[in-house]
Each structure stands twice: as C-alpha cells, then as structure tokens.
Amino acid sequence: MAYLARNPASYVGQSIGTGHCVPYVQVAANAPLTANWKRGERVKDIAELASGTAIATFDADGRYGSRKDGTSHAAIFIRKNETGIVVLDQWITNGVRKAVSERLIRFNNTAAKKINNGDEYYVIE
C-alpha cells in the first residue's frame, strides 16, 4: 500500500519537525516510522504514478537506511518527465534547514549522490 499526501504543497516554505526529509513525508502522507517502510516499485518504471505519492531511496535489502551520507532520502512525488522526477522535499545541509520546496531530481545522474539520482527512488509501501 502506497502512502499518498492529499495536499503536499500546503507545506511549501515550512520546515517540518526536525527539518530532515522524513518528518515532512510522514506528516504530509501519514507515513509510518521508517522501520516499517518497504521498497515498492521503482518510480522511473511506473507509467502513471499519483501526484502526492511518498517515495524514497532504499538499501539493497529493501529497507530505508536513514543515513546522512547521501544515500538515504524521502520525498513526495509530484510528476515526472523524460528528464527526471519533480518532488516536494526538505533537508538540512551544513546545519541549515531547507524548507519544503519543489525540485527536479534527474534520471541517469550517476555522477551525483544516490539521493540526487532519480533512478534510485521507489514508492514507499
């Protein structure tokens, strides 16, 4: 079962909870604790995915890693095109909070960290 945010844009400009990516996804999509997240279908491979679907990167074992090394991230899917996926997300960089905003995560971005490669995102189940 995927988690769907009904009005994810209502959080734009706000920093939710700790400011890390997960609290926004949990609040917006009513997603459970990350220990209960399971890797679903890869976003890139889905022809039609509902706007507002909770997505994340996952470890090889299908679990969410909760790491701060550029391999773990969660976001709310908005749309995709041939270039990548457009998401709403938040994060902290060098101790500075980046409030919820929209951004493009490009496909085939293998030179980037895992969190910045659209090929690495899966539906949270």
* pTM of the model as a whole: 0.96
The alpha carbons of the chain give a radius of gyration, in whole angstroms, of: 13
Q: Determine the distance from the C-alpha atom of residue 58 to the mean position of all C-alpha atoms in its chain, rounded to a whole number.
A: 10
The 10s digit of each residue's pLDDT in 25-35 is 999 999 999 99
- Band of pLDDT at residue 39, cut at 50, 70 and 90: very high
The 10s digit of each residue's pLDDT in 42-73 is 999 999 999 999 999 999 999 999 998 889 99
